[in-house]
Amino acid sequence: MQIKSVKVGDQCPTCRTVVTSENHGSIISEMKKELAEVLEKGKGAKSAFQELLEIEEKSKIKFEEFRTADLARIETELAELKSPDSAEIETIENQIRLGNLSEEEYAELTELTNRLRIMQKKSRCCVRLIEFLKKLQKLKKVWHTRKTIWPNFKSLFRQQKNLRSEERN
């Protein structure tokens, strides 16, 4: 429901108060305030998501830099090795396992990746919350419409039942 369409005699879609000329301004301002809060949360979620994307991109670039440098260094070392022993092989296998990062660098990369996943989940939750609030507003409007129409249907069904009873008699 658009805020501009709320007028005297309507029922507020959020608090179910009947809009009067006395409370019209306060209801409109409260609805605008709630809308601004939802929009602000959405902007925050969007900026958090962008920040996550930037962190992910920086992590990828840094990882590739380390990987390229380490691969070049390892290739040089391998070329120089004539008869590698088991300790050297183990060192090289560890370097490959860690993506040619040190233990500390690999731990930092893992930590950043985990933080990125958490922030992505939070961002998705915020987006889902905004979508849920929009759906809730639509459902409130439908509920209000049905609430006002249903008593009329009940009355019509009663009248129809009475007419049938009278026709049988």
Q: pLDDT tens across 122-162, in order?
A: 899 888 888 988 888 888 887 777 667 666 667 777 777 78
- Ramachandran assignment for 60, one of left (phi > 0), alpha (psi -120 to 50 degrees), beta (any other): alpha
Q: How much is the pLDDT for 116? A: 93
**Residue 114 pLDDT greater than 90, yes or no:** yes
For residue 125, give both structure tokens: 């939750």
Q: How far apart (Å, rounded) are the C-alpha atoms in residues 146 and 155?
A: 14
Q: How much is the pLDDT for 30? A: 86
For residue 103, give both structure tokens: 């233990």
- Top pLDDT among 119 and 148 is at 119
Is the distance from CB of 102 to CB of 67 less than 8 angstroms?
Answer: no
Confidence of residue 101 (pLDDT cuts 50, 70, 90): confident
Q: How far apart (Å, rounded) are the C-alpha atoms in residues 31 and 15?
A: 10
Is the distance from CB of 112 to CB of 55 less than 8 angstroms?
Answer: yes
Is the distance from CB of 31 to CB of 6 less than 8 angstroms?
Answer: yes
Worst-scoring range by mean pLDDT, 1-5, 15-19, 32-36? 1-5
Q: Residue 141 to residues 18, 19, 25, 39: CA-CA distances in angstroms?
A: 14, 15, 20, 20
> Tokens 């930037």 map to which residue?
54
Q: How much is the pLDDT for 43? A: 86
